[in-house]
Amino acid sequence: MGTDGIKPRLREFCSLRAPGLSDEDDIFEVGGVNSLFAIELLTFVEESFSIALEDEDLERKNFSSINAMAVLVGRKLDAQR
């Protein structure tokens, strides 16, 4: 699955907290993230894409934008193949 197939699902989930968020917007800077949403986002990513996030994946840069999350998910999916 390319990042283009991943982005719409991430965008839909994130738009619940940050309506109008573009793929490049930093979700932390626009105020769309609190601690509860961060946990919900991690759970959503793992369950929606059937991946396991490791400690080294849990860096802010990997979740700062739709684009960054799509790259992370794509990388994890590729590693499963």
Instruction: Give 10-residue mean pLDDT values along the chain (81 residues).
Output: 82 90 92 87 97 96 96 95 85
Global pTM reads 0.91
Q: Is the torsion defined by CA of 8, 61, 36, 50 positive or negative?
A: positive
d(CA 17, CA 60): 17
- Domain positions in the chain are 3-80
**Rounded to the nearest 10 degrees, how much is the dihedral formed by the CA atoms of 54, 59, 60, 62?**
-60
| CB 66 within 8 Å of CB 11 | yes
CA distances 43 to 20, 39, 53, Å, are 22, 6, 9
pLDDT of residue 64: 93
User: What is the reported pLDDT for 3?
Assistant: 66
**Predicted local distance difference test score (pLDDT) of residue 34:** 86
- CATH code linked to domain 3-80: 1.10.1200.10
